[in-house]
């Protein structure tokens, strides 16, 4: 009973950690999107200011009031805001990548916890059986092929020849004798044709 409770507690802890990490990733992504939109708006504003006539008046909004600023001063201020936002975005992206990796590790731990440490291809186990396996890259397709072939042929020849040779030899001699006898009996006798003209 105790291992089941420990397993349930570990499962709950990992699930909560995954949920918290997922929420953090969403918040970071929302902050990155917001800073990106703000940075894009600042760049457009800075580009517009740089295209204005030098004598054109420019104002900076501070709360509900507008303060007169020089174009160069306002452009430098916007540029500093853009650089600061880019640094924040970079830092948020690094933190997001770290939390995403952490979330993947939690998912793997949760998956292993569900499957009891097993994985596909190793979901079963037989007790009291030892398996010795060799990598496919260490195996040879035809190890000692010629040597084993010659040894096998010699072994089979030595074991079969004493029993197969006498019948084959007798059959060959009988076949040869039959052919010669047939030729002899098929020849005509010259004495039977001596008186013919």
Q: Is residue 53 part of a domain?
A: yes
Full domain range(s) for residue 84? 2-114
Is a pLDDT exceeding 60 seen at residue 120?
Answer: no
Say if residues 12 and 38 touch (Cβ distance below 8 Å).
Answer: no
Domain boundary among 92, 114, 136: 114
Domain boundary among 57, 89, 114: 114
Same domain for 100 and 168, yes or no, is no
Same domain for 33 and 110, yes or no, is yes
Domain boundary among 114, 148, 170: 114
Q: What is the pLDDT of residue 126?
A: 60
Phi–psi pair at 194, nearest 5 degrees: -70, -35
Tokens of 164: 């197969």
State the CATH number of the domain containing residue 92: 1.10.287.370
Among candidate residues 95, 54, 85, the one with its CA nearest the CA of residue 72: 54
Dump pLDDT digits (tens) for 30-62: 999 998 998 898 888 888 888 888 788 887 778
Same domain for 31 and 110, yes or no, is yes
Dump pLDDT digits (tens) for 68-112: 878 888 888 888 888 998 999 999 999 888 888 888 887 777 777
Q: Is residue 145 part of a domain?
A: no
Say if residues 21 and 74 touch (Cβ distance below 8 Å).
Answer: no
């Amino acid at each position: 009973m105790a291992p089941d409770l420990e397993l349930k507690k570990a499962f709950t802890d990992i699930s909560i950690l995954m949920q918290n990490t997922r929420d953090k990733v969403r918040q970071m992504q929302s902050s990155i999107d917001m800073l990106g939109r703000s940075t894009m708006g600042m760049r457009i504003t800075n580009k517009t200011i740089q295209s204005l006539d030098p004598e054109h008046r420019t104002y900076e909004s501070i709360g509900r009031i507008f303060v007169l600023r020089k174009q160069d001063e306002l452009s430098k201020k916007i540029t500093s805001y853009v650089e600061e936002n880019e640094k924040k975005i970079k830092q948020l992206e690094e933190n997001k990548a770290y939390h995403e990796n952490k979330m993947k590790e939690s998912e793997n731990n949760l998956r292993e916890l569900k499957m009891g440490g097993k994985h596909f291809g190793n979901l079963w186990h037989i007790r009291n059986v030892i398996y010795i396996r060799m990598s496919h890259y260490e195996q040879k397709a035809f190890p000692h092929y010629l040597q084993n072939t010659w040894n096998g042929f010699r072994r089979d020849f030595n074991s079969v020849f004493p029993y197969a040779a006498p019948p084959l030899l007798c059959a060959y001699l009988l076949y040869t004798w039959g052919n010669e006898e047939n030729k002899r009996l098929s020849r005509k006798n010259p004495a039977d044709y001596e008186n013919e003209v």
